[in-house]
Copies of this chain bind each other. A is one copy, B any other.
Amino acid sequence: MENYEQLIRQLVDAAMAGAGKTGAGCGAGTCADGSDIPVGVSNRHLHLSQQDLNVLFGSGYELTAIKDLGQPGQFACKETLTVCGPKGAIEKVRVLGPVRSRTQVEILAGDGFKLGVKAPVRQSGDLTGTPGVTLVGPKGSVVLTEGTIVAQRHIHMTPAEAERYGVRDGDVVSIDFDTERGGVMRNVLIRATDTSALECHVDTEEANAFGVSSKSHFRIIK
């Protein structure tokens, strides 16, 4: 019977988290509830292999960085492409660098309707069985057989940070935004690697639906 009090305390915490009530989560150096984690809002974008970059922009082409992104070594490029599907096209889709081993197109769920492409919600790099699109650049076109996804919302952090938040790489958590249009996003993936910078990535539709910007804060609900 002596464990009841602890059990009840855990259940009260879980119930309050579900109801959007906030506890005092901030200690020395970090907020254990995640309310110190910056939010990054991603619009549609794509990553290119060097092989596809050569076809689209010319042999040996090098990407032109115009803005560093939150994750170390990642940058937005001057270059944009037209993404085409069977039902429509979207112009000026931003290329992110550096080049990767495989080309990956990250669209918004709404883009899928416009393009006529049923892109699944996937983690970056998990492209098996995803649909293709056609990329059109200034020097050529690439017909992809796969590689189009809607990015699963996720939180980048180091393993040390993960320990502080009580999560591990690959965990799936919920996050609670206390905004005017707020609520809880479930199925948020924890991606903990040594080279990560602390940042939660949601896409523009998710940010708009929740009334969230890069200045917003959330709490992690495990």
A→B interface (CB under 8 Å): 1, 4, 7-8, 11-12, 14-15, 17-20, 108-110, 121, 153, 174, 180-187, 203-206, 208-211, 221
Contact = CB atoms under 8 A, between A and B. Distances in A.
B8 A15 contact: no
Contacts of A206: 209
Contact of A8 (B7, B19, B109, B211): B7
B208 A110 contact: yes
Nearest to A175: B183
Given A15-B18, A181-B187, A184-B184, 18 more contacts: A7-B8, A8-B8, A8-B11, A11-B12, A11-B14, A18-B18, A109-B181, A109-B208, A109-B211, A110-B204, A121-B211, A153-B181, A174-B183, A181-B185, A183-B183, A183-B187, A205-B205, A209-B209
Contacts of A8: 4, 7-8, 11
Contact of A180 (B121, B174, B183, B205): B121
Contacts of A183: 174, 183-187
A11 B15 contact: yes
A161 B184 CA distance: 26
A157 to B, nearest CB: 21
Nearest to A203: B209
A110 B4 contact: no
B20 A186 contact: yes
B11 A110 contact: no
A210 B110 CA distance: 11
Contacts of A205: 110, 205, 208-209
A209 B210 contact: yes
B4 A14 contact: no
Contact of A187 (B11, B109, B182, B184): B182
30 contacts: A1-B1, A4-B8, A7-B8, A11-B14, A15-B15, A15-B18, A17-B18, A18-B19, A18-B184, A18-B221, A108-B208, A109-B209, A109-B211, A110-B204, A110-B208, A121-B211, A153-B181, A180-B187, A181-B185, A181-B187, A182-B186, A183-B184, A183-B185, A183-B186, A203-B209, A205-B205, A205-B208, A208-B209, A209-B209, A209-B210
